[in-house]
Amino acid sequence: MQFNIKSIEDWQEIVNQIIPSLQYNILLLKGNLGAGKTTFTQFLMKSLGSNDEVNSPTYSIVNEYNTPKGKVYHFDLYRLKNIEEVFQIGIEEYLDNSFLCIIEWPEVYEDELYGLNYHTMNIINSIESREVLFD
């Protein structure tokens, strides 16, 4: 799926179309700083029925949100330097015990996902809008 965002309100329409397409419990979010990864997550959590405050897990590495469907874990791997640091936070246990794991900056861990099913969202900034690619 491909979307174009020109205003913050456009995120809700994207979430409305993506939720029925979520087949796997892993969602990788890719994009530059300020692309809208956390903003997307805020809209997604609200639409999934979470009342939790959603913010970037840049320093905590992982945030936990409650939804009627189960736990959602929101990771930000930006500050992790290697795969050993990812394993030290226990990411595999989170993946095994979640309704959904949202992983921002997944590149340090992506090779370990070989053989697993997951979705990827790429957010590409341009001067006037953002292009979002979801698969």
CA distance 8 to 114: 33
> Looking at the 3D structure of the chain, how many domains does it have?
1
Domain assignment present for residue 2? The answer is no
Within-domain flag for 16: no
- Distance (Å, whole) CA 63 – CA 55: 8
pLDDT digits (tens, 9 = 90+) for 73-96: 999 999 999 999 999 999 999 999
34 inside domain: yes
DSSP one-letter string for 47-91: HTT--S-----TTTSEEEEEETTEEEEEEE-TT--SHHHHHHTTH
Q: Please determine, for residue 27, whether its predicted confidence score (pLDDT) is greater than 90.
A: yes
Which CATH number fits the domain that encloses residue 85? 3.40.50.300
Q: Is residue 90 part of a domain?
A: yes
Q: Output the pTM of the full model.
A: 0.92
Tens-place pLDDT, residues 55-76: 988 888 999 999 999 999 999 9
Q: Which domain holds residue 124?
A: 22-134
Asked if residue 96 is part of any domain, the answer here is yes
